[in-house]
Each structure stands twice: as structure tokens, then as C-alpha cells.
Structure 1
Amino acid sequence: MSQQNLSAFIWSVADLLRGDYKQSDYGKVILPFTVLRRLDCTLEKTKLAVLNAYTEKQAMGINPEPFLIRESHQSFYNTSTLDMNKLIGDQDHIRENLFSYIQTFSPAVRDIFERFEFHTQIDRLHKAGLLYQVTEKFVQIDLHPEAVDNHQMGLVFEELIRKFAEISNETAGEHFTPREVIQLMVNLIFIEDDEVLSKPGVVRTIYDPTAGTGGMLSVAGEYLEEHNPQARLSMFGQELNAESYAICKADMLIKGQDISNIIYGNTLSDDGHTHKRFDYMLSNPPFGVEWKKVEKEVRKEHEQQGENGRFGPGLPRVSDGSMLFLLHLISKMRPKNEGGSRFGIVLNGSPLFTGGAGSGESEIRRYVLEEDLLEAIVALPTDMFYNTGISTYIWIVSNRKPKHRQGKVQLIDASDLWQKMRKSLGSKRKELTLEHIDEITQIFGSFKETEKNGKPISLIFDNTDFGYRSITIERPLRDEYGKIVIVEKGKQKGKQQPDSSLRDTENVPLDEDINTYFKRQVLPHVPDAWVDVEKTKIGYEIPFNRHFYVFQPSRSLEEIDADLMGVTDRIRSMLGELMA
């Protein structure tokens, strides 16, 4: 059975659910049943050997698990005498038997069905009189690995995930990243390593701390499979949403990945991969979501562990935690002497510029740039995601920059590279074609400043171009007679007392001397001013749009006058017709 026919067959189950289930809830039944049937078929040939080993080891008082894993030839097992064929042979007890069957899977598999809350759906189907029909429908398809290999099964499962994400697009954006965005990110993190990744038997790790349904990990795996079938990509992830976690874990199980590498929980407050480092990483953290729920744990780590923890460089404001994920990923990079790492993360516009010098956001940007970790930022078109139409940016970060990129940052404006979707999905109205993805990838790979249609599309900067010194400009306090007030006590005794109401700040580029700037830009306008050097702070911001702004000269007065005359003449003509 082809992938398309297989997906269509499974999708036909929706016809049974129509009326009793909302369309957006179809996935709660179809996805866990697809997983169940796949596992059922996979264990079919070794079932008798597993049951014999289970009975034997139990009688000996030995923990049977390692023996059951060995006999099943899989990373999971089931100790029930039931299977799905036997389930439909006893229609009157199918609910109780199905519960029993699921409970006898190995713990990691049971966890998947528990996170799906599959028991709730079994009860619901039973009450609607649909449980037998749905189970029977799935028994009709052969999902044995000899009939449908892991790769094909993975593609089928991903297609189902995408369909359910699209029909429930009001929440899809929280747990589902558009496939073409993932493909672009995967291209960008792998392109400079194509030579290494093409070697036979190469093994690499990839990690997503906001794994959702596992889309980023899956697309990365497909990329490597396509470029080097002999390569192996070990996948790691963590996800907070229970249903998305279940889908991700099921997807990894179907593809033969070690599902113990997929952790449930909040990455920021409870890192499920402590002390682990990875070759590649991808993430699409939630945009503009506050981190108040985990503030206590995050601040504790920041204050107690400092640079030895994940959040040493600084903390962003509580209203937006996306930069915490940026720091988390940086903490997961392999040391440079062990090969280093590269990752891509999707962020909204605020991490580029929010927060002045000395703020948490600015300090995080300062760390990223002064440590020479930022390779590139790619501006995506608006309306690319399911639950927001805002501007988004892909940051490519690495601690093993190639020599020609060291000390540099590439900005790519891909906001005009898109095509309109035939049908909108929530806020998603635009998409990247394969040609757009290839073009952006080539622009990144060439590392050159380029234009398109007379507008810059790729610009290259020194890291220091984004830094500045925030200087405090003071002016003297004057009494009612206009006389300058002198400080009479303390450390500042004998100096002019500053007037806080006249205090101002100026941002001086890092590569410019403060005194030179002050004499040129400030003193000619306020000759009694001075710089309070003790208040000088270093800040970093990346004013992306400003760099790509192209000035459009205003039309001449003659052109405007001609247009106005034309409009006036048309109005006169229309009035004349009305009065005639």
C-alpha cells in the first residue's frame, strides 16, 4: 500500500467519527490507534517468544524486562496474550480487553497512551457505540515493518499530524511549526557541514527543547537520510504539552529512535537533559509568553550558578521568555574542542532590540555577540505561522564558525520571498516554496552582500557594529539667580551639582571615542554639559529593519500638482453631469 493510500485509508476512520466528534478532535482517536496498530503489527512475529520468556522469568523471580526486550527485537514489548485481532473477536468485552492490552505494554509505551489520555477516548467511543467499529477498521490495515518500513511509516504519521494540526489551527501554532520553515532551518544548520555529514557511518545528535509534535527532529532526520542513508541522527527533545509530547514520542518510536530521549516537562524549570551537549539544535519557542510560572526556579539558577548555569548572561523581562530558550540552547553546545555545535531558533522581533544598555535582553545580546556565536539572522515573511501574523526571525548560532565568518554577522532579509497560499490556515497566509528555500540557503552559504530588485537582501557586519556605549549627559543645577549650584558635602564636594530634570543619554558606537563624539554632537548645543563616566554602560541591539530600509524619494511638487489638477477636473466633470 502506498503512503498516500495508507494515509487516505487511516483518514477514512474520520467518517466513522463524524457527528460524535468535532473535526478538531479526530486526532485524539486516529493518532493513538495508528500507533497501537503499528506496535501490534511490529510485535506479532515475536509475541510467542516474549510470552514464553515472561512466564519463565517470572517463575524464576527474575526481572523479565531485559529478556523481553531481547526476545521482541525492539525497544518495547507487550506481555498480554491479546492482540488487536483477538480484541475484535470478543465484541462484548472489547472495552475491558483494550484497557488490559494497553496496560501490558512496556512502561515507555504506556506513557505514550497515558499522555494521549487514550483511556478517555476508549470510554467515549464505547459510549457512542463506535469502539468496535474503529478497532475493526484499524485491524484491516497491515502496518508490519516488512509491509511499511520505518521511513514510510514516519512519513504517514507526519502527514496525519499535519492534517490534524491544520484542522485545529486555533492552537496549532503552539505546537506545530510550518514544514517549510523547518526545512529552511535544517538547511541552514547543515549546509556548512555537508562534507562531514556525507561520510559513511557518521553519527550526530540533534535536540529540540520545545519539541512539540517532533516536526523539527523529523525533518532533520529526513534531510540526513536523503543526503547520506548510512548516517545516523540520534534525536533528543523535551515538550511541556502532554498530547504533543505523546505524538512526538510516538513518532520517534515509529522511526526506531530511542524514545527515552524524549522528556516530558518544562525545559526552563526542569531541564530533562542535564549535562548533555548536542551537535545540532532547533527550536521554535512560544512568542511573547511570560515565564512567571517558572520565575522562582529560573532566578534561583541565575543567582546561585551564575556563569556555570544556563542563564548567567542575564534574564529578560518576565513578559517574554523566548530569550531564555536562546540561552538554554547555548548552554547545550558542545565545547569547541569537541567539535562544537550549531543551532537555529525562531524568535519574534523583540529579542533584536528590546531593553536598553545594561538590561537583561541587552546583556544576552552582548554575550552572544562578544562570544562570536551569532552567524546569521534571517527575516521571514509575515503571516507564516498558524497563530500569529507578526514578523519572525531565524537566528543561526554556532561556536564553530568557519574562518571567513569569524567576527562577522550576516543579516538576510527574506521577507519578500513568499507565495500566497491557496487557502489560509489560521493566521498563516503565506508559504515558502522549495525555490525560496534554496535561494535563502544559497544566500546564506555564499556569505556575500547581495541585492535583489534594487534592494539589499544580504548584508554583512562586524560583531561590534551592533554595540554601543550609553553615556549619561549631565547639566548643572542652577539656583533662582541662574548661578550654578556646587556640591558642599560628600564624594562630589566642590563639583557642579547635576540637574536631574536636564539629564539625558546618548548612544555612542563602540568604534567611536566618547570624547570625540561628545565634542561633535553634544557640546555645540549644550556647552555647559559633561559626561558622567561612572554611569556609562555598554549595550547591544540589532536594528534589523533600519539596515534594510531603502529611501524612497518623494514625488516632485509638479507631479503632485498635476495629479490634484486631474482629480479636480474629474470632480468638475461629474458635477457638471449631475447638474445637466
Structure 2
Amino acid sequence: MNQQALSAFIWSVADLLRGDYKQSEYGKIILPFTLLRRMDCILEKTKAAVLAEHQEKSNLDLNAAPFLLRQSGCGFYNISPLDMKILMGDQDHIKDNLFSYIQGFSAETRDIFERFEFHAQIDRLDKAKLLYQVTERFANIDLHPNKVSNDQMGLAFEELIRKFAEISNETAGEHFTPREVIDLMVNLLFIEDNDALVKPGVIRTIYDPAAGTGGMLSIADQYMTEHNPDARLIMYGQELNPESYAICKSDLLIKGQNVANIAFGNTFSEDGYPHQKFDYMLSNPPFGVEWKKVEKEIRKEHEQQGFNGRFGPGLPRVSDGSLLFLLHLISKMRPANDGGSRFGIVLNGSPLFTGGAGSGESEIRRYVLENDLVEAIIGLPTDMFYNTGISTYVWILSNRKPEHRKGTVQLIDASGFWQKMRKSLGSKRKELSDDHIAEITRLFGHNIEASEALPPSPRAGEGSGVRGRNKPISRIFKNSDFGYRTITVERPLKDENGKLILGEKGKLKGKPQPDSSLRDTENMPLSEDVETYFKREVLPHALDAWIDHDKTKVGYEIPFNRHFYVFEPPRELAEIDADLKQCTDRILSLIHELST
């Protein structure tokens, strides 16, 4: 059975549900039933042996689980004498028998159905008089790996996940990342790793702390397999939303992966892999989500463990936890002397610049830049995600930078790389084409600066000077270029007669007292000498000013858009006058027509 026919057949179940279920609810039925039938077919051959093994080990009062896994030959088993064919022989007791059959699965598999709340869906189907028909529809399709390979089944399941996410686009962005964005991130993740893509027998690990439905993990695995069939990518993840967690585990199970590697819970308060490090990581955490619910745990770790924990560099404001995910991923990097790591994360614009010198956000940026962890930041077009039209950025970080990248950060402005979608999905109106992905990957892979010619402004005349402009799309900076010092400039306090008021005690004894009403701050480049800057920029305007060095702070920000801004000269006055005269003449002509 080809993939198209398989998807069409499974999707046809929607015809049975129409009327009793909303379109956005179809996935709650079709996805768990697809998984159930796949596992039913896989276990068919070893069913008798598993039942016999279970009986034997139960008689000996032994833990049967490891023996049953060995007998089943896969990562799960079922100890119920029922299967989907047998279920069809007892229509009157279909609900109770289906419950019993699901209960017979191994713990990791039962967990998936529980997170799907499949029992509630079975009850609802039964009340709608649809349970037997839906079960029969799936019982009559052969999803055994001999008929439908793991790759084929995985692609079909991914297609179903994508369709249901698109139908329910009001929440899709929380748990589902557009396929082309993942393709781009995976390309960037692996482009410099020839060993992983060429050497036979290579084993690598990949982790997603906000796994959603598992799309990033699946596409990374697919990429690795396509480029090196002899390589193995072991997937790990964690997800907070129960249904997304269930879908993620289902997808991996269908592809023959170890579903025990997907943890459930809040990554910040219940780290599923507290002592584990990974070769690669990918993540699209929720944009701008507050972390008030887990604030107590996060602050405790920050204060008590410092840099031995995950959040040593600093904490962002409670209203936006994006940078907490960045720090979490950094904590999961292998040490450089053990091979190091690379990861990609999608963030909104605020982590680039929010927070002044000394703030949690600035200190986090300072940490990643001073430790030379940022390889590149890629600005994506707006309207790329299902639940928001804001600008988004892909950060690529690594503690094993190649020599030519050390000490630098590459910024790529891909905001103009898009094509319009034939049909909008929620806030998503644009998409990346294969050519766009290839060009961004090329710019990153070669680590080059590049520009593109801008078309003339539609308003511009021949003499406007706009023609021939070049817009930068890739620029390379030193890490220190994003640093600055905030210096505090003081002016002396004077009495009503204009006489200086001197301090009477402490370190200001005998010195001019500062006037807090005249106090000012200046941001200056980190690379420039403080005194040189002060003499040039401040003293000419305030001869009695001085710097309070105790208040000097170092900050970092990445003003992405500023680095790609292209000045467009204003039009000539004569051209503007000509336009105004043309407009005025037209208005006068219309008035004349109305009056005649």
C-alpha cells in the first residue's frame, strides 16, 4: 500500500465522525486508533509466545516485563488474549473488550492512551453508536511492517498530525512547528558535521525540551538517515501538553524508536534528564510564555546552585521564559573535550535586546557571547507560524565552533526569503521554499557576508540616488561588537549661591556631592576606552561632570534590524512639489466638473 492510499484510507474515518465530532476533534479518534492497529499488527506473530511467557512467569511470581519484551521482539507487548480481529466477533461488548485489550499493553504504551484520554473517547463513540464501526474500519486495514514500512507509516502519521494541527490552527502554534522551518533548522544543525553524515556506524543523540508532537526529532532522524543510512540518531524529548506528548510518543513508537526517551512534565520544574548531555538539540519553545507557575523552583535553583545548575548566568523577567529554554539547552551540552554539542532554537525578537545592562536578559546574552557559544542568528519572515505573525529568529549555538567561526557571530537576514501560501492557516501566510532553505543553508555553511541588489523605490525618480543600492543579508561580527558599558555621569550639587556642596563623611568626604537631579547615563561601545569616550562625548558639554565608576555596568544586546538597515534618501523637493501640483490640479479639475 502506498503512502497516499494509506493516508486516504485512514482519513476516510473522518466520514464516519462527521456530524458527531467537530473537525478539530478528529485527531483525538484517528491518531490513537491508527497507533492501536499498527501495534496490533506488529504483535500478531508473537502473540501466542508472549501469552505463554506471561503465564509461565506469573506462575513463578517473577517480574515478567523484560521477558515479555524479549518475546515480542519490539519495545512493547500485550498480555490480553484479545486482538482487534477478535473484538469484531462480539459487537455487544465492544466497549468493555476494547478497554480490556488496551489495559493489556505494557506500561509505556498504556501511558500513551491515557494521555490521549482514549477511554473518554471510546465512551463518547459508544454513546454515538459509532464505536463498532470505527473499530471495524481500522481492524480491516493491514498495517503490519511487511505491508507498510516504518518510514511509510511514519510519513503517513506525520501527515495526519499536520492535517489535524492545521484544522485546529488556533492552538497549533503551541505544539506544532511548520515543516519548512524544521527543515531549515535541521539543515543548519548538521551542515558542518561531516563525521556524522559520512562515517558508518555513527551513533548520535538529539534532544528537544519542548517536543510538541515530535516533528523536530522526526525530521532530524529522517535527515540523518537520508544522508547516512548507517548512522543512528537516538531521540530524547520532553513535553508538557498531554495530547502532544501522546502524539510524540506514538510517532516514535510507530518508527521503532524507544518511547521511554520521551518524558512528560514541565522542563523547568521536572527536568526529565537532569544528568544527561546530548550531541544535538532542537527546540521551538512557546513565545513569550510567563514562568510564574514554576518561579519558586527556578529561583531556588538559580540561587542555590548558581553555575552548577541550569540558570547560573541570570533570570529573565517572569513574563517571558524564552531565555530559560536557551539556558536549559546550554546545560545539556556535552563538554567540548567530549565532542561538544550544537543546537538550534526558535525565539521571538525580545531575547535579542530586552533588558538593560545588568538585567537578567543582558547577563544571559553576555554569558553566551563572552563564552563564544553563538554561531549564528537567522531572522525569519513574519507570518511564518500558526498562532502569531511576529518576527522570529533561529539561534544556532555550539561549544565546538570550527576555527573560522571562533570569536564571531554571523547574522543572516532572511526576512525577505518567502513565498505566499496558497491558503493561509491561522496567522501563517508565508512559507520558505526549498530554494530559500538552500540559500540560507549555503550562507551559513560557507560563513560568508553577502548582499543583494535592491529594486528601485517605486517613488524614486532618475536622480533620486536610490538605484544600485545593496542590502546586506549576511554579516559577520566579533562577539565584543554586541557589548557596551553603561556609565553613570554625575554633576556637582550646588547651593542657592552656586557654591559646591562637599561631602562630610565616607568616600565623598571633602569631594563634590553629586546632584541626583542632574545624573545621567551613557551607553558606550565595549571596545572603546572609557576615558577617551568621556572626554570626547561628555566633557565638551559638561566641564564639571565625572564618572561614578562604581556604577558602571557591562551589557550586551543584538540590535539585529539595525545591522541590516539601508538608508533611503528622501526625494528631491522639486519632485515632491511636482507631485503636489499634480494632485492639486486633479482636485481642481474634479471641482470644476462638479460645478458645470
Q: TM-score if structure 1 supplies the norm length?
A: 0.99
Map 1:42-191; keep pairs closer than 5 Å.
42-191=42-191
User: Partners in 2 of 1:362 and 1:286 — Cα distance?
Assistant: 20
User: Partners in 2 of 1:217 and 1:316 — Cα distance?
Assistant: 27
User: Partners in 1 of 2:316 and 2:309 — Cα distance?
Assistant: 15
2:398 is the alignment partner of 1:395: no
User: Partners in 1 of 2:150 and 2:122 — Cα distance?
Assistant: 27
> Residue 517 of structure 1 corresponds to which residue in structure 2?
533
User: Partners in 2 of 1:546 and 1:33 — Cα distance?
Assistant: 51
1:372-420 CA-partner distances (Å, limit 9, x unpaired):
0000000000000000000000000000000000000000000000000
Instruction: Give 1:483 deviation, angstroms.
Output: 1.6
Instruction: Tell me which amino acid in the other structure corresponds to 1:198.
Output: V
Instruction: Tell me which amino acid in the other structure corresponds to 2:240.
Output: L
2:591 is the alignment partner of 1:572: no
Contact 2:334 / 2:341 at 8 angstroms: preserved in 1?
yes
User: Partners in 2 of 1:507 and 1:377 — Cα distance?
Assistant: 24
> Residue 510 of structure 2 corresponds to which residue in structure 1?
494
Partner SS, residue 509 of structure 2: coil
Partner SS, residue 192 of structure 1: coil
- What fraction of aligned residue pairs are identical, expressed as a percent? 75
Instruction: Give 1:195 deviation, angstroms.
Output: 4.1
> Residue 428 of structure 1 corresponds to which residue in structure 2?
428
> Residue 362 of structure 2 corresponds to which residue in structure 1?
362
> Residue 276 of structure 2 corresponds to which residue in structure 1?
276
> Residue 447 of structure 1 corresponds to which residue in structure 2?
447
Instruction: Tell me which amino acid in the other structure corresponds to 1:491.
Output: K
Aligned residues: 580
User: Partners in 1 of 2:15 and 2:555 — Cα distance?
Assistant: 59
Partner SS, residue 98 of structure 1: helix
User: Partners in 2 of 1:194 and 1:245 — Cα distance?
Assistant: 32
Instruction: Tell me which amino acid in the other structure corresponds to 1:222.
Output: Q
Contact 2:57 / 2:64 at 8 angstroms: preserved in 1?
yes
548, 551, 555: which one pairs with 1:532?
548
> Residue 569 of structure 2 corresponds to which residue in structure 1?
553
Instruction: Give unpaired runs (5+ residues) of structure 1.
Output: none
1:217-264 CA-partner distances (Å, limit 9, x unpaired):
001011011111111000000000000000001111111111111000
Instruction: Give 1:501 deviation, angstroms.
Output: 1.2
User: Partners in 2 of 1:60 and 1:457 — Cα distance?
Assistant: 70
User: Partners in 2 of 1:265 and 1:448 — Cα distance?
Assistant: 41
Q: TM-score if structure 2 supplies the norm length?
A: 0.97
1:419-449 CA-partner distances (Å, limit 9, x unpaired):
0011110000000011100010001111111
1:502-532 CA-partner distances (Å, limit 9, x unpaired):
1111111111000000000011111111100
> Residue 468 of structure 1 corresponds to which residue in structure 2?
484
> Residue 219 of structure 1 corresponds to which residue in structure 2?
219
Instruction: Give 1:573 deviation, angstroms.
Output: 1.2
User: Partners in 1 of 2:490 and 2:307 — Cα distance?
Assistant: 34
> Residue 340 of structure 1 corresponds to which residue in structure 2?
340
User: Partners in 2 of 1:53 and 1:47 — Cα distance?
Assistant: 10
Instruction: Tell me which amino acid in the other structure corresponds to 1:278.
Output: F
Partner SS, residue 277 of structure 2: coil
Instruction: Give 1:196 deviation, angstroms.
Output: 3.4
Change (3 A) 1:64 1:195: closer
Instruction: Give unpaired runs (5+ residues) of structure 2.
Output: 454-469
Instruction: Give 1:491 deviation, angstroms.
Output: 2.4
Instruction: Give 1:576 deviation, angstroms.
Output: 1.3
User: Partners in 1 of 2:349 and 2:497 — Cα distance?
Assistant: 49
User: Partners in 2 of 1:270 and 1:197 — Cα distance?
Assistant: 33
> Residue 563 of structure 1 corresponds to which residue in structure 2?
579
User: Partners in 2 of 1:195 and 1:73 — Cα distance?
Assistant: 31
User: Partners in 2 of 1:483 and 1:167 — Cα distance?
Assistant: 74
User: Partners in 1 of 2:537 and 2:66 — Cα distance?
Assistant: 75
Partner SS, residue 411 of structure 2: strand
User: Partners in 1 of 2:472 and 2:17 — Cα distance?
Assistant: 52
Partner SS, residue 144 of structure 1: coil
Contact 2:196 / 2:231 at 8 angstroms: preserved in 1?
no
User: Partners in 2 of 1:495 and 1:5 — Cα distance?
Assistant: 86
Instruction: Give 1:478 deviation, angstroms.
Output: 1.4
User: Partners in 1 of 2:516 and 2:145 — Cα distance?
Assistant: 75
User: Partners in 2 of 1:458 and 1:314 — Cα distance?
Assistant: 30
468, 475, 479: which one pairs with 2:495?
479
Map 1:223-238; keep pairs closer than 5 Å.
223-238=223-238
Instruction: Give 1:549 deviation, angstroms.
Output: 0.3
Instruction: Tell me which amino acid in the other structure corresponds to 2:162.
Output: R
Partner SS, residue 507 of structure 2: coil
Partner SS, residue 143 of structure 2: coil
Contact 2:116 / 2:246 at 8 angstroms: preserved in 1?
yes
User: Partners in 2 of 1:579 and 1:202 — Cα distance?
Assistant: 85
Instruction: Give 1:194 deviation, angstroms.
Output: 2.9
User: Partners in 2 of 1:419 and 1:81 — Cα distance?
Assistant: 54
User: Partners in 1 of 2:594 and 2:16 — Cα distance?
Assistant: 64
Instruction: Give 1:490 deviation, angstroms.
Output: 2.2
User: Partners in 2 of 1:132 and 1:50 — Cα distance?
Assistant: 27
> Residue 309 of structure 1 corresponds to which residue in structure 2?
309
User: Partners in 2 of 1:255 and 1:92 — Cα distance?
Assistant: 34
